[in-house]
Amino acid sequence: MQKIRPCLWFDGKAEEAAKFYGTIFQDSKIISSNPIVTFFTLAGQEFMGLNGGPKFPFTEAVSFMVYCETQAELDEKWDKLIAGGGRPVECGWLKDKYGLSWQIVPAQLERLLMSGDKASNERVMAAVMKMTKLDIATLEAAARG
């Protein structure tokens, strides 16, 4: 058991969401489930889904960042997470059909934003701000100037 496990409050769809997310991320499974809670893993990370009702919907104040090695992986994760009623937001963010916010980003984004070259960092951030779904080639070109 990991020391910190995120608890996600769903409106009665915790197990459904865990199954949905499990189709997107490898090393994912439902550990146990009942009408109140579902314990599951996504990419090896443990979560608890609580069927708490409609009182507390998800907000953008919390999101999950998914690092993708290639543009193909980024595109795949993006498309699967917005399927069935999700929607793109901006700057690599999207909301899935349950209202949960995700950031689908290139694995190299942190390196591009933290290179130590202030002008390069600013160009990369400016490029991110113009995008909805992030494009690795465009971000790398921005870093090079």
User: Does the fold of domain 58-145 match that of domain 1-54?
Assistant: yes
pTM beyond 0.85, yes or no: yes
Q: Which two tokens stand for residue 31?
A: 């550990």
**CB-based burial, 53-77: b 16+ in 10 Å, e otherwise:** eeeeebeeeebbebebeeeebbeeb
pLDDT above 90: residue 43: yes
pLDDT tens figures, 89-129: 999 999 999 999 999 999 999 999 999 999 999 999 999 99
pLDDT recorded at residue 22? 98
Give domain limits for the chain. Answer: 1-54, 58-145
Please write the tens of the pLDDT for every residue from 83-99: 999 999 999 999 999 99
Q: What class, spelled out in words, does domain 58-145 have in CATH?
A: alpha beta
Burial class of residue 102, CB neighbours in 10 A (0-12, 13-18, 19+): buried
Distance CA 63, CA 58 (A): 9
Backbone angles phi, psi at 105, to 5 degrees: -130, 155
**Fold entry, domain 1-54:** 2,3-Dihydroxybiphenyl 1,2-Dioxygenase; domain 1 (3.10.180)
Average pLDDT over residues 23-37: 97
* pLDDT at res. 130: 98
